[in-house]
Structure 1
Amino acid sequence: MTTFTGFIPVWLNGRLTRNGPGLYTYGDTTYNHLFDGFAVLHQFRIKNGHVTYHSRFLQSDDHKKNRLNNRIVVTQLGTVGHPDPCKTLLQRFMSIFEVEATDNCSVNVVHMGDEVYAMTESPVIRRIDPSTLECIGEKTKVDSIVAVNTLTAHPHVEHDGTVYNMGSSFASSSGPAYNIIKFPPPRVEGGRRKSSVDQAEIVATIPCQWRLHPSYYHSFGMTEKYFIFVEMPLVISLGKLIYNHITKEAFIGAFQWYPEEKTHFRVVDRRTGRQIPTRYSTEAFVTFHQTNAYEKDGQLVVDLTATSDGGIITEAMSERDPSKVNLVLPTHRRFVLPLDVQNAPQDINLVTLPGTKCKATKRANDVIEIEGCEISAHPFELQRINYQYNGREYRYSYGVGISRVNNTHDKLVKMDVVTGQVQIWTETNKFVSEPIFVKPPGSTKEEDKGVVLSSLIDQTDPKLASLLVLDAKTWKELGRVDFRANGTVTPTFHGQFAADADEVHMY
């Protein structure tokens, strides 16, 4: 059954593919952590005002192993797998010393040329058919091409199709490091096609300041000239990680939060691949999503969502009922980093941008102490922008509002990052998803001219899937399509819209 209200702009042609954990139970065993659930891909196909919907479990190797045994045999972040009954006693013992990255790619999707990949935070990605959502070929091990043990699920895409991502390397000779990886557009060389993944290369390396405790991170920033990495004191203890693996304890126990430490902004010059010598530090916070960053008047502006609650991964996300969590909700913050500070005076505010309360002060040890400012006190997460403004000065961000009553994602928020004013769309009994901005074909000087897409879940009808289309400027509903699915519709984290007319699909 399909119900259509309002209208869909005739220029909006393409596919919205979303990804998120949707399967937590195999047999009588259940995964414990929000990040552990196995991936379900969802897709809305929009063509000439008509919309279709379908979803599919990602047919990962790990999912197949669990399903074959009808119980959890594959360990994920917060849950230890049961012994595989097909293995001998010796094989089970030897598996203690084997660490294989999961291919449960349940967080996001990315287009690399004409190839589409599902992603998570492991160095393994799965290529999927953009029409059927079936897996194509074997899993792709990025760690067999470049030296990384993790990847983010939030790459950046340039106008020519070049993709950049970050990954940690735990075992480099000089100690743990954070590597920035470039995936060039596909090309033909010597009659052989080389995909983006085939050409992956490390273009910058940032040493970890805590040698046995690399920082956790979920995203990074990029401007025309710089990469921006936020090194938080929410860290992964490598010693504890190894110990937990040997003793068959959940990996989540290796996460440690040190609120007395500082959060550091590490800035890399994209032209040289080297970190600039200036050191920036501020009070400890945790961020998942960087919104945007840009350069203005010799200063680097970095916007992100942040919370002071370091237990967000280890405690809050281990409880899949959000109403039971006592969480310090994230808000949208801005930091301003002055770039040319070699001859700057000490102990005065170096931020000169008008209209901001952000501060940056040079101390005697040459560290720049920065103090961010809250753009808005409204709880805000899963934010996106008009990606044409990525790395450029911008005005609007679109995100999910979080209820202070039960921590549910029940609002879509348009935020003016200059004034902090918000516009809100909400509807009773509806959970919203990450809003995705789509601009109309051709160029426009209006940053918010376009639509915002979100998928809805009905709290009273678990089989109802909806595509919501908002006018980005007025924040009013243009149209909606409701679908009656065969089974329960599951939430998603992130996704990407691929317009039919575009050769390069950005975020």
Structure 2
Amino acid sequence: RRALFRRRQRMCDSRFELKDGAVSYQCRFLQSDIYKRSTTANRLVLTGFGTKAVPDPCQTIFSRITSIFNCAKDVRDNAAISVYPFNDEIYAFSEAGIICKVDKGNLETGTKRDLTARLAIVTHTSHPHVVEDGTVYNLGLSFSRKGATYHIVCFPNDKNNDQDAMFEKAQVVSTVPSKWRLLPSYMHSFGLTEHYFIIIEQPFTINIPKKVLSSIFSKTPVHDVCKWHKEAETQFLVVSRKTGQLVKTFYADGFFYFHTINQYEDMNHIVIDICTYKDSSSIDKFYIKALKNAQSDSNFRDSVNSSPQRFVLPLFTDGKFGDNQNFVKIPVSNAKAFVRDDGSVHVEPESICRHNCELPTFNYNKCLGL
């Protein structure tokens, strides 16, 4: 069992230091409560996105129900996906609403920030945007009687480098309802340009009723209560950074994605590059069992290869136009956008290159939403 548990340990990002003609390397396990509790118990104590907790034989059905409403006893602080700066400090992120400070010198785990308590969100993306003045934006999710709602959250930069002020002044600057009330889209990243936020609502959704029931009875991983809607489209929700209002929605054939690449504005168009998959089956290939069998699985490579695609969203398509008119007016672009009979705009991407890619890095010097 210990060997099985060790495969699920997660490391903080590594640190390299170049000094006096030599390179030193350092890495540490993020000392989250979940990590320490699991190590002590010699088992996974909390169900994650793709991993199932080993049941506690002493926990009754009533204590399981109680645990849903007692977040303090079920802290989701395994922030082992990404690292981003807040002023001159760095924080580790996951899709749960708790981030962990990491010491830049020795990679020790420091203060934890529970963003769910102040901002009333239950999750957020692992990839916020940090703009030129140090302000941080992220996309969060909340639930209410009206259903699931997406929120753009702003952490304004503090001129005095006061870390507490950035979090104390954090606020929701935009709210957009989910297409499906109880089936919010799974989102790992989002887009930001000079004037707009871009929420990419893909047809891979989390079934909230199933998730609640699984928390009580089966401790099913999040992935197991998600569904790919193969007939549904992907929506691009364009939100004004100035007003926080949804200004336009674009539609594309359904695709699955984790990461955006770059996004910017050009000639009254939004250009957004995304690492796309044809569907969500790629997730299944990242389980340990699938990775072990990767060499013998003839379909493995095709399943995990993402295609870098460029979508161009023209912002001037209102009114009556001729049939089959392409509204993408950027020179040399092969992307397309058509107004359909119901007035909605359907976009078709162009391939950026023939090679597959994933885990991109933003070219913030050119494409940051200033």
Q: TM-score, normalised by structure 1?
A: 0.66
> Which residue in 1 is equivalent to 2:52?
80
Structure whose residues are more often helix by fraction: 2
> Which residue in 2 is equivalent to 1:317?
286
- SS of 2:258's equivalent in the other structure is coil
Contact 2:33–2:75 (Cα < 8 Å) also in 1: no
Could you tell me how far apart the structure 2 residues matched to 1:283 and 1:90 are? 44
Q: Is residue 165 of structure 1 aligned with residue 147 of structure 2?
A: no
> Which residue in 2 is equivalent to 1:27?
2
Question: Quick one: structure 1 residues 144 and 159, their matched pair in 2 at CA, closer, same or farther if it must change by over 3 Å?
Answer: same
Structure scoring higher RCO (CA < 8 A, sep ≥ 6) equals 1
> Which residue in 1 is equivalent to 2:321?
345
Could you tell me how far apart the structure 2 residues matched to 1:307 and 1:247 are? 32
What's the C-alpha RMSD, in Å, of the aligned pairs? 2.5
> Which residue in 1 is equivalent to 2:223?
252
> Which residue in 2 is equivalent to 1:332?
308
> Which residue in 2 is equivalent to 1:265?
236
Q: Deviations over 1:155-185 (max 9, x none)?
A: 111111111111111x234321111111111
What is the CA-CA distance between 1:366 and the residue it aligns to? Answer: 1.2
Could you tell me how far apart the structure 1 residues matched to 2:147 and 2:166 are? 28
Could you tell me how far apart the structure 2 residues matched to 1:244 and 1:267 are? 34
Identify the match of residue 360 of structure 2 among 362, 377, 383: 383
What is the CA-CA distance between 1:279 and the residue it aligns to? Answer: 2.4
Structure whose residues are more often strand by fraction: 1
What is the CA-CA distance between 1:251 and the residue it aligns to? Answer: 2.3
- SS of 2:28's equivalent in the other structure is strand
Q: Is residue 149 of structure 1 aligned with residue 108 of structure 2?
A: no
Question: Quick one: structure 1 residues 194 and 102, their matched pair in 2 at CA, closer, same or farther if it must change by over 3 Å?
Answer: closer
Question: Quick one: structure 1 residues 309 and 93, their matched pair in 2 at CA, closer, same or farther if it must change by over 3 Å?
Answer: closer
Could you tell me how far apart the structure 1 residues matched to 2:204 and 2:6 are? 23
> Which residue in 2 is equivalent to 1:6?
none
Amino acid at match of 1:317: F
Contact 1:179–1:204 (Cα < 8 Å) also in 2: yes
What is the CA-CA distance between 1:47 and the residue it aligns to? Answer: 3.7
Q: Is residue 205 of structure 1 aligned with residue 175 of structure 2?
A: yes
Could you tell me how far apart the structure 2 residues matched to 1:184 and 1:392 are? 15
Question: Quick one: structure 1 residues 233 and 183, their matched pair in 2 at CA, closer, same or farther if it must change by over 3 Å?
Answer: same
Question: Quick one: structure 1 residues 320 and 149, their matched pair in 2 at CA, closer, same or farther if it must change by over 3 Å?
Answer: farther
Question: Quick one: structure 1 residues 201 and 392, their matched pair in 2 at CA, closer, same or farther if it must change by over 3 Å?
Answer: closer
* Aligned positions, number: 359
> Which residue in 1 is equivalent to 2:266?
296
User: Could you list the runs of 5+ residues in structure 2 that have no partner in the other structure?
Assistant: none
Contact 2:314–2:328 (Cα < 8 Å) also in 1: yes
Contact 2:150–2:176 (Cα < 8 Å) also in 1: yes
Identify the match of residue 97 of structure 2 among 123, 127, 131: 123
- SS of 1:366's equivalent in the other structure is coil
Contact 1:309–1:328 (Cα < 8 Å) also in 2: no
Question: Quick one: structure 1 residues 297 and 236, their matched pair in 2 at CA, closer, same or farther if it must change by over 3 Å?
Answer: same
Contact 1:116–1:129 (Cα < 8 Å) also in 2: yes
User: Could you list the runs of 5+ residues in structure 1 that have no partner in the other structure?
Assistant: 1-25, 394-507
Question: Quick one: structure 1 residues 86 and 198, their matched pair in 2 at CA, closer, same or farther if it must change by over 3 Å?
Answer: farther
Identity %: 35
Q: Deviations over 1:21-43 (max 9, x none)?
A: xxxxx6254489xxx64333311
Identify the match of residue 186 of structure 1 among 149, 154, 158: 158
Could you tell me how far apart the structure 2 residues matched to 1:355 and 1:45 are? 43
Contact 2:186–2:206 (Cα < 8 Å) also in 1: yes
Contact 1:153–1:219 (Cα < 8 Å) also in 2: yes
- SS of 1:202's equivalent in the other structure is strand
